[in-house]
Structure 1
Amino acid sequence: MKKSLHVLSMVGKYYLYGFFLQLLFLNLMYASPTKGQSSLNISEVYLSLDLKGASLAESFSKIKSQTEFSFIYDQDLVKNSKPVDLQVEHQSLEEVLLSLAASHTLSFKQVDNRISVKIAKKHVKVKEIAVEVTVTGKVTDVNGDPIPGATVYVQGTSKGTATDIDGNYSIVAPENAILVFSFIGFDSQEITIGSRSVIDVILSEGVASLQEMVVVGYGTQKKVNLTGSVDVISNEMLEDRHAANVSQLLIGTSPGLNFGFDANGYQPGAKASIDIRGIGSLNGGAPYILIDGFPGDMNSLNPEDIASISVLKDAAASAIYGARAPYGVVMITTKSGKKDSKLTVNYSGSVSLVTPAKLPGTLDSYTYSRVLNEAALNKGTTLKFSEETIDRVIAYQNGDYDFIRSQFPDGFPAEDVTNWSAFPAAGGGWHGGNGDGHANNDFWDLATGSNVGQSHNLSVQGGSAKTSYYMSAGFTNQVSSFTWADDYNKRYNLTAKIKTSLTDWWDLRFETRLMKNNRSFPSGARPESGDSYNALLHIIYNTAPKQSIYDSFGNQGQSSVKSFFEAGASDDETTENWQIIGTELRPLKGWKINADFAYQSTDFYGLHDGREFGEQNWLTGEQTSSWVASQVNEYHRSDYYWSSNIFSSYEWSFNESHNFMAMVGAQYETGKYRSLDAQARNLIVPDIISINTATGDPSLGEGLSQWATEGYFGRLTYNYKEKYLLESNVRYDGTSRFLEGKRWGFFPSFSAGWVVSNEDFWIQTSDFFSSLKVRGSWGQLGNQNVAAYQDLALIQLSKNLLNWLPGYNQTGQVGYTLTPSLVSPSLTWEKAATTNIGLDMAFLGNKLGVNFDWFERNTTDMIGPSEALPGVLGASVPRSNNSSLRTRGWELSAKWKEYVNSDFSYFLGFNLYDAKAVVTSYNNPTGYLGSWLVGQEVGDIWGWSSSGLFQSQQEIDNHADQSFIYNIWNTGDVKYDDLNGDGVINNGQNTIDDHGDLMLLGNSSAHYQFGINLGANYKGFDFSMLWKGTAKRDKGMNYDDYAYYGFRRANWSQPKWDHLDYYRDTPGTKYVGLYEGEANINTDAFYPRPYEDNASNVKNQTYNSRYLGNFAYIRLQDVQFGYSLSDNVIGRFGLSKVRVYLSGSNLLTFDHLPVGMDPTLPSGGYRTSTGKDYRADRIYSMGLNVTF
């Protein structure tokens, strides 16, 4: 019975496909009878003959009597042959046969101890005797299971056979020939026969495994049958990467799967934004993230729980999800237990050292002072720093403390002279700012350093005959490189999954996921600010190196950078709870009925406090003034989600060729959100942080929203012998976000594919070209992910009535309402229609897999501005469905994977993607450049053209009038080009038809994004590496981006070493200029002349072609080196796997930006200033994986 079940299982797994291939190739193959190989070689068998006038038959009989070889021939061949005259003494049988072949025009072929004889073709000189042997063996997969239907053939010939149901084969082949073993979806192997008669082969799955099961919407499909654009990111690709959360784990793994970071940058717990194939809508749009079939936050998952990820990229693949998935789907499947499997315990843990990767190069105080003095003289003002101040700076850097003492005629009461980095002012105030300080601090170096993070995960899985289970617990502590305050993100995960068979046809599953996340970071004394974290970066960046942290008594004050890190903390706690129950019934063969229900709740609580701090008395340490008042901010958020799905599918076939699958189903969703926030100032006791302990009037805010969707869907697939493929999906969706009559939408998709390599003729090219599939699709989906309540006439309520209105009093506030907003009665779905054409190819026995896709997505009925109405209306004009966007692009991925032998294997992968989004309709009647334009590519940058810097006053006088930008111009300022030749530099009407001298400079969208991953395994060692990059990306740099320019105004000018290539046309001195004397002159500079004031610098820092930021880069995202102990070692301890590894993240970045700017963060940090965001840290990790 057990044997029979095994046989049926193998038939279900391999035989249908292998037998099909065998029939396909049968007319091109020849299989000889099975025999063991003879140990005799005709070149090593010797005999003596004396033949005079003998017939051929007599000659063959004489040879047989002296050897073990018999001859097979046609009687007609010997009847009419001429006599044989041959005398040899101790000559090899090979030489004898060659003589007979030459004298009688014969050909001989040896098969074991038999030799067949035929008439040779005329004019063909026979040089050797063909020797063939019989080879037998067995073909299995890596698990030891036999592979029925695997092809075994002689390389360079059409001779071959196929394995039987038990994976056995037998083939006759020439001695020393090469046998090729192959099966669809597996890497082929080439083995030279040599002297062997038995060859057993293990085939491994190749990079283009067509038998691989892929998770798709509401089910799975074999990869060979897919017609949509689906990319599978396997656990094998993910397990060798070290990342704090899933979004960072996926960077660089799939073409067209793009990630970006906002102003929060890479701070602990940062979540990358994600899109599939670029921007989907001008109103925003993200892919639909599904975890085990339900929407969720991928970053709340423990990465160790992930089994596989499917990325559904085109409408055909994602249409089954309708209005929630117009811009693609990311389907995450978590790990589960297996039935009839033993209990397995897995532990994985790592410890990480986090260090800053790329800090700005801070100037020393002496260089800084001289450079800013030069900027002051360029403006025509007095020196920023007096000669006395600079003398103290020099003395402090040189350790000349006697000189510093001489600056205090009345003496200084502190003993520790080395801390005299701040000059005490009259009245006891403490001044450590740019004016009087003489410290020499690199605040980036002081505020950052090395911190230790860690991650630990434990899982248990197994199963009985009817039940499987999986349970896991995880803890991750991600830290930043800040050392002046706690800055971390701690995540706790708990997962339990169980699946049981109540009967042979009824399964029940239950899943629970719990997550708790704690985020703690310094509030920078501004807890009410959404970018308080980046305000810290802003403060570090803007603090001069001359400024001190402490005075000689250890006092800190307002001007101390460290005070901001110690002025309060922000603590956020998020708790997420998922409960899922599902069932599957199989009433008949091929018929499945599935139903599941999910409940999810997310609760957020944030407590952000700001501590009071200000100036301190340098003698007593007492606070003399308050710069920031103490305050407390509390935030409460609750989000609830319910969803239920029911769907049924039926699969059937006839004539063993026509295969169908039909599915219908329904989905219901509802969500509810509520928030309550409060703020108050002036805490009575700073250590008791509560609204109740603050004396200031509290400020309250509340939010409430809810929504619901209802959808019905269906799918029909057909394939003929897995050769011709058809699929159609439909979805009928309704949403609460639109008015009645506009709530429902019908969204279809169609796709087709042709597996060319399953055609009869394909065997002729299969040695090189292993497989080819052509596919195409079209589909349309809706987008209900728009702002809520656009279907309601909302009334804005205000409580800030002015005091001169009647009814005003000092103890209360009088409320009032504004005019209700107007509602568009026609507002409805945005629609996204996608066309996709793809090729899936494999070469060289499936070692090389290549995939290419071209796509076009047209988003229509986008919600945009309506036609303007008279201002007397008294209400804002409602938005309408009047805009459209077209996105075109392509994807290419290739992977080479080879198992060289049982000890060594390696892989190399590459992916490349590019797309362009163009506005095809938008209501902008004036063509204003500050809004969207028809024909505009998303990301277009407009600005001035520049041909360099002014080199002389004559050049300035002869140039076009630039007073539109600024009224004073000097040598070293930017020279803007007069593109329209009217003698005036201006922007015309700032419209597309009249843009004056503005031009299209570049594009801020990332183009030609790529990933390179490679790795190898040798015995117990493994190595992997991932590079990620963008070949083209521009960024318009303006005056807010002073991390790029270095100079802005007064104390905000903080040039770094990369900014010192600025225009200088006068000799320097000890107190002014970068260098003394003529060496200071630098008229062939990159940066313009710097100034002390903001306006003079801004004129050179508008968007222009000279200072267009190049954000192209390539980064070593991850590298890992591991070693797995051998089974012989760990088996004695009851272990099945022990692996140790070292890894590094963000180790190298090559780009074109000033040091300290991260090319992956172009959007800007604090107050949109690019460069003032938290850059990616360099992380070194050591880890351990153990399986019991």
Structure 2
Amino acid sequence: MEKLYLKIKPGLIALLVMFVSFAQSQTIITGNVTSEDGGSALPGVSVLIKGTSVGTTTDVDGNYSLEAESAETLIFSFVGYVSEEIIVGSQSVINISLVPDITSLEEIVVVGYGTQKKSDITGSVASIPQERLQQVPNNNFAQAIQGAIPGISVVSNSAGAEGNDVSILIRGRNSMTASNSPLIVLDGMPYSGSISEINPTDIESIEVLKDASASAIYGSRGSNGVILITSKQGKQGKPMISYDGFYGIQKIASLPDLLSPAEFYEFKNTREPGSITNSEELLFQNGGGTDWLDLTTQNGYKQQHTLSVSGGAENIKYYISGSFLDVEGVAINDLFKRYSTRFNLEVNITKWLKAGTNTQLSLADRSGLASSWSGGSDGAFYMNPLTSSHDENGDLTIYPWPEEVFWGNPLAPTLADNEDKSYKIFSNNYLNIDFPFLPGLSYKLNTGVEYTHRDRGTYFGRNTKTGLETGGRADTRTSRATNLVVENILNYQREIGKHSIFITGLYSYQEDEFTEDRLESQGFPNDVLTWYQANVGNLVEPSYEFRNFTVLSSMIRVNYGYDNRYLLTFTGRRDGFSGFGANSKWGNFPSVALGWNIDQESFMPATGMLSTLKLRLSYGKNGNQAVSPYETLARLSERSYLNGSTTAPGYVPSQLGNPELGWESTGSFNLGIDYGFFEDRIQGSIDIYESNTDELLLEREISPVHGITEVTQNIGKTKNRGLEFTVSANVIKSGDFSWDVSGNFSYMKNEIVELYGDGQDDVLNNWFIGQPIRVNYAFEFDGVFQEGEDIENSPLPDARPGDAKIVDQNGDGMIDADNDRTIIGQRDPKFISGLNMNFRYKSFTLNIFSHSAHGMTRVNSLMRDDVWADVRRNTIRKNWWTPDNPTNEFWANGLDTNPRGVRIYENAGFWRLKDVTLSYDLPTAMLEKFGFDRFKLYFTGRNLLTITEFEGLDPELNSDREIPLQQEFIFGLNLGF
């Protein structure tokens, strides 16, 4: 018996080991996760087995379940709470309460070369509300910014499918001739491409650096403000698959009331009797004609689809997305497509070494030419309605007006072969080292490349006016743009007692290069090979363009705080730009800012109405890198000449060199207050600022003895002042209903302080000392001369009844350009505002967003009888003066009834109901049932209503004769699982 026992004992031991191992691998761990501060369940908590990607998340009641071995460790993590690690051991039920992380709960803001807690910021930094980024279907990020941040003016110059032609001004206009556009930084790297090539769905946050203290870290390029864009990153936890898509239709918001064929016939006969041509007469008698605006417009559409996957484990985080945007605008053949993919990855190689990439690949397809709108010889806004769009075969006419072959068909561009594709690589790659021997010290190597390759080819065949008259015309272009950045960033962060210090040092190199090959040719044997036969044209004109510049920069920023009450930020940056003169290549840009968190003082009550009170004060200086790379060099222009029967190269002086040419420099002062009431249910900020820009780049007249009449110099000064106010409030939060409101208001005033140092205005450029940079300077319309009026003793004694009056500004009894032209308002807004309201009831949300701009005046170019001799162009319907209609609204329909060319200026202020979005979020119980983490349906109406006194095409657009503004009606779906 003993021997038997000894024989089977090893076998039993082996079986027991196998059983224990099996049992151990099959242990199911369950539990519940709550918040320590209130004991409430925490849904969505990540529960991950340490060292693996295996894990789960808690359900709506905070419960979880997963399989784990006894030796393994579970990591519990949730945004805003301190992560916890627990060894499984023999436990099968693990309940845990997570402790709120006060530091992480506080808002973190990107400030350039790093992040800061909002309470530690001393400069003027504003963030885009998340609802403007996530709840509205935007083509580009500029649409999200418009009206959402005080002090930022976003103006849509045109309304095409791409929506890329926008002007962004931060705190008004500083420069007179150079760019006033802000610097855009995407994932830490300066971005120089088209804003339409960035997928808004990939954006996590947008911060705007407005004052000199905040933007001086970008030195020579920060005087117009900085827009910081951060793309989405992965988060630790299970993989999350998301779909964000929308489809919408576009309709024209408004069109001008142009004369119909019958009205045009009467108008032309009244103005110039006998000028009707045979073809016009024939069309009129047969009841024909063409509504060119109706023919060149349509209902457009747009759709976007983005699919992304994100997640991470203990040492890796990733975000991968693919997106497709397709827009067909309200103008015939106005098309834009964008294909993009993004790959963001961050890997903790060791505890002290981290590497990552933020890479975007995109293709922007702009192929296709839209119908012509304002072209001098074929614009739909100008086109005679008594002309024919199609011939008897149904083809587009080459000459719609047989007697006037100057005019082409506004639809002719749609017949052209056109290909326009832009390929972009934008890649930011970094390596971060946390030095283990000195806690708080880290080094980051930040590199990036932005490469754009654009191919364009256009061919006008003999079925168009251009192609017929030239025997076919081809235009091909290939351009390459490369932007390389290498940054060395050293950070040191330390807290000693009540003292905190954060030091950032930078040394960077940037090189920007652009090349373009262009070939224009015409006169081909046929149209078969389009632009591919460019080399056989009768006339071939090649050209080449090249630009290159480099920027070297060094910067130090010191953030000091004491007891979270007293804050100090000092920044010093030095930039060198290859494009400036030999004696002015380097510039220094310092700034200093102070902050005082008054609410942290002991004399403030611990509880009460006031919850946040912070005072900010800053002053700094930054620059505008505002000249092209070769502006400082003496240059020659080509002037070839005939030498016998051959062409010989010749050159003439075109520009004098200026080794002193340098930066435009802006010094800015900012005083701000951040406030909050009732535990920040009501919060906001107030800022006042003043900026002074000197060393402006202006063209000064010189003696023409050199063959050159102007030279660019650093002269002139401008001033910019303003007030900004923001407020947000949780107005109602009761049960299933809540109402949140946020609004902003800005006042901006700029003026020219000095021009050429002689105290004189520059009337030719409409620049006047003491006035805004962009003003209207013209004769002022004063109604219409009436019958019986004493015209002979008026300032225009040769006028007739029905002629336009002009205000005699100096009262000398005569009208002359030197003394009677006057400033008629400014062209940039004085006031801008935005208002956002969110109403939530259970699973439904209604978002209403509006914005406005006021204080600007624009010429209404539609209110001109600019119809040319013999009335060859159309115009809008007007209230013309006649003896039976003695109006003062508009002069008579006749030749020379407005001999001085007076124009009508109107108040261009407006209020616009920009977006109205109704959304439905699937309840939590339904999400669990169908396996979704997120399910949202929404409907958005855009540009639904505009209230304005301006009677042109639109108060915001640059031209009254371009593609009109469109209304959009969009259905969208957001999914996550």
Per the normalisation by structure 1, the TM-score is 0.70
CA separation of 1:978 and 1:511: change in aligned 2, threshold 3 A = closer
Q: Distance in 2 between matches of 1:652 and 1:1152?
A: 58
Q: Distance in 2 between matches of 1:436 and 1:542?
A: 22
Q: Distance in 1 between matches of 2:125 and 2:744?
A: 14
Q: Partner of 2:526 in structure 1?
A: 685
Tell whether the 8 Å contact from 1:309 to 1:332 is kept in structure 2 after alignment.
yes
Partner deviation per Cα, 1:194-221 (whole Å, 9 max, x = no partner): xxxxxxx999999x99920000111100
The DSSP-based 3-state class of the residue aligned with 2:604 is helix
Shift of 1:565: 4.3
The DSSP-based 3-state class of the residue aligned with 1:956 is coil
Q: Partner of 2:66 in structure 1?
A: none
Shift of 1:1087: 1.5
Partner deviation per Cα, 1:951-1004 (whole Å, 9 max, x = no partner): 125421221236xxxxx52212222233323322112xx3xxxxx222222111
Q: Partner of 1:584 in structure 2?
A: 432
Shift of 1:566: 3.9
Q: Distance in 2 between matches of 1:272 and 1:998?
A: 31
Shift of 1:266: 3.3
Q: Partner of 2:644 in structure 1?
A: 808
Question: Identity of paired residues, percent?
Answer: 24
Q: Partner of 1:769 in structure 2?
A: 610
1:746 maps onto 2:588 in alignment: yes
1:943 maps onto 2:778 in alignment: yes
- The alignment of Structure 1 onto Structure 2 pairs a total of residues equal to 881
Tell whether the 8 Å contact from 1:1043 to 1:1172 is kept in structure 2 after alignment.
no
Name which of structure 1's ranges 1115-1124 and 819-828 shifts more when overlaid on structure 2.
Answer: 819-828
Q: Partner of 2:108 in structure 1?
A: 213
Q: Partner of 2:134 in structure 1?
A: 239
What letter corresponds to residue 904 of structure 1 in structure 2? F
Q: 1:278 aligns with which of 163, 166, 172?
A: 172
Shift of 1:928: 4.0
Q: Partner of 2:822 in structure 1?
A: 999
1:513 maps onto 2:360 in alignment: yes
Q: 1:727-746 residue pairs with structure 2 within 5 A?
A: 727-746=569-588
The DSSP-based 3-state class of the residue aligned with 2:349 is strand
Partner deviation per Cα, 1:645-678 (whole Å, 9 max, x = no partner): 11111122222x1211112121111111111111
Name which of structure 1's ranges 465-474 and 1130-1139 shifts more when overlaid on structure 2.
Answer: 1130-1139
CA separation of 1:552 and 1:1151: change in aligned 2, threshold 3 A = same
Q: Partner of 1:224 in structure 2?
A: 119
What letter corresponds to residue 1123 of structure 1 in structure 2? Y
Q: 1:1119 aligns with which of 901, 908, 916?
A: 916
Q: Partner of 1:503 in structure 2?
A: 350
Partner deviation per Cα, 1:287-312 (whole Å, 9 max, x = no partner): 11000000113432111000000000
Q: 1:511-550 residue pairs with structure 2 within 5 A?
A: 511-522=358-369, 534-535=374-375, 539-550=379-390
Shift of 1:249: 2.8
Shift of 1:1150: 1.7
Q: Distance in 2 between matches of 1:870 and 1:695?
A: 44
CA separation of 1:349 and 1:687: change in aligned 2, threshold 3 A = farther
Larger Rg: 1
CA separation of 1:896 and 1:537: change in aligned 2, threshold 3 A = farther
CA separation of 1:626 and 1:488: change in aligned 2, threshold 3 A = closer
CA separation of 1:286 and 1:1126: change in aligned 2, threshold 3 A = same
Shift of 1:281: 1.0
Shift of 1:633: 0.6
Q: Distance in 2 between matches of 1:604 and 1:583?
A: 31
What letter corresponds to residue 679 of structure 2 in structure 1? G
Q: Distance in 1 between matches of 2:684 and 2:122?
A: 16
Partner deviation per Cα, 1:510-565 (whole Å, 9 max, x = no partner): 222101100023266xxxxxxx6643996211223333333555354234346524
Q: Distance in 2 between matches of 1:436 and 1:559?
A: 20
Q: Distance in 2 between matches of 1:1160 and 1:228?
A: 31
The DSSP-based 3-state class of the residue aligned with 2:927 is helix
1:1083 maps onto 2:918 in alignment: no
Shift of 1:361: 2.5
Tell whether the 8 Å contact from 1:517 to 1:573 is kept in structure 2 after alignment.
yes
Q: Distance in 1 between matches of 2:393 and 2:881?
A: 42
Tell whether the 8 Å contact from 1:516 to 1:573 is kept in structure 2 after alignment.
yes
The DSSP-based 3-state class of the residue aligned with 2:538 is coil
Tell whether the 8 Å contact from 2:374 to 2:381 is kept in structure 1 after alignment.
no
CA separation of 1:437 and 1:818: change in aligned 2, threshold 3 A = farther
Q: Whose helix fraction is larger, Structure 1's or Structure 2's?
A: 1
Tell whether the 8 Å contact from 1:1061 to 1:1085 is kept in structure 2 after alignment.
no
What letter corresponds to residue 312 of structure 2 in structure 1? G
Q: Partner of 1:711 in structure 2?
A: 553
What letter corresponds to residue 276 of structure 1 in structure 2? I
What letter corresponds to residue 1176 of structure 1 in structure 2? L
Tell whether the 8 Å contact from 2:161 to 2:327 is kept in structure 1 after alignment.
no
Q: Partner of 1:367 in structure 2?
A: 263
What letter corresponds to residue 976 of structure 2 in structure 1? T
1:571 maps onto 2:404 in alignment: no
Q: Partner of 2:862 in structure 1?
A: 1042
Shift of 1:227: 0.6
Q: 1:725 aligns with which of 567, 578, 587?
A: 567
The DSSP-based 3-state class of the residue aligned with 2:381 is helix
Tell whether the 8 Å contact from 2:837 to 2:848 is kept in structure 1 after alignment.
yes
Tell whether the 8 Å contact from 1:308 to 1:334 is kept in structure 2 after alignment.
yes
What letter corresponds to residue 677 of structure 1 in structure 2? R
Q: Distance in 1 between matches of 2:428 and 2:309?
A: 19
Partner deviation per Cα, 1:57-102 (whole Å, 9 max, x = no partner): xxxxxxxxxxxxxxxxxxxxxxxxxxxxxxxxxxxxxxxxxxxxxx
CA separation of 1:1134 and 1:209: change in aligned 2, threshold 3 A = closer
The DSSP-based 3-state class of the residue aligned with 1:665 is strand
Tell whether the 8 Å contact from 2:189 to 2:428 is kept in structure 1 after alignment.
no
Q: Partner of 1:1174 in structure 2?
A: 963
The DSSP-based 3-state class of the residue aligned with 1:762 is coil
Q: 1:345 aligns with which of 241, 246, 254?
A: 241
Tell whether the 8 Å contact from 2:851 to 2:911 is kept in structure 1 after alignment.
yes
Runs of at least 5 residues in structure 1 that lack an aligned partner in the other structure: 1-8, 16-135, 146-184, 187-200, 377-381, 387-424, 525-531, 616-622, 963-967, 991-995, 1066-1080, 1165-1170
The DSSP-based 3-state class of the residue aligned with 1:1139 is strand
Q: Partner of 2:736 in structure 1?
A: 903
Q: 2:397 aligns with which of 557, 561, 572?
A: 557
CA separation of 1:256 and 1:359: change in aligned 2, threshold 3 A = same
Partner deviation per Cα, 1:782-810 (whole Å, 9 max, x = no partner): 222322212322222222x1x4xxx231x
Partner deviation per Cα, 1:833-857 (whole Å, 9 max, x = no partner): 1101111111233111221111111
Q: Partner of 2:61 in structure 1?
A: none
Q: 2:849 aligns with which of 1026, 1029, 1034?
A: 1026
CA separation of 1:241 and 1:937: change in aligned 2, threshold 3 A = same
Q: 1:647-686 residue pairs with structure 2 within 5 A?
A: 647-655=489-497, 657-686=498-527
1:984 maps onto 2:811 in alignment: no
1:287 maps onto 2:182 in alignment: yes
Q: Distance in 2 between matches of 1:671 and 1:433?
A: 60
Q: Distance in 2 between matches of 1:431 and 1:613?
A: 23
1:605 maps onto 2:455 in alignment: yes
Q: Distance in 1 between matches of 2:104 and 2:558?
A: 24
Shift of 1:469: 0.5
Per the normalisation by structure 2, the TM-score is 0.85
Tell whether the 8 Å contact from 2:160 to 2:334 is kept in structure 1 after alignment.
no
Partner deviation per Cα, 1:365-410 (whole Å, 9 max, x = no partner): 333322333333xxxxx25559xxxxxxxxxxxxxxxxxxxxxxxx
CA separation of 1:815 and 1:1144: change in aligned 2, threshold 3 A = same
Q: Distance in 2 between matches of 1:1088 and 1:278?
A: 37
Q: Distance in 2 between matches of 1:244 and 1:1044?
A: 35
Shift of 1:1045: 5.5
Tell whether the 8 Å contact from 1:522 to 1:533 is kept in structure 2 after alignment.
no
Q: 1:242-321 residue pairs with structure 2 within 5 A?
A: 242-262=137-157, 264-282=158-176, 283-296=178-191, 297=193, 298-321=195-218
Tell whether the 8 Å contact from 2:692 to 2:720 is kept in structure 1 after alignment.
yes
The DSSP-based 3-state class of the residue aligned with 1:698 is strand
What letter corresponds to residue 1016 of structure 1 in structure 2? F
Tell whether the 8 Å contact from 1:884 to 1:920 is kept in structure 2 after alignment.
yes
The DSSP-based 3-state class of the residue aligned with 1:813 is strand
Q: Distance in 1 between matches of 2:454 and 2:826?
A: 38
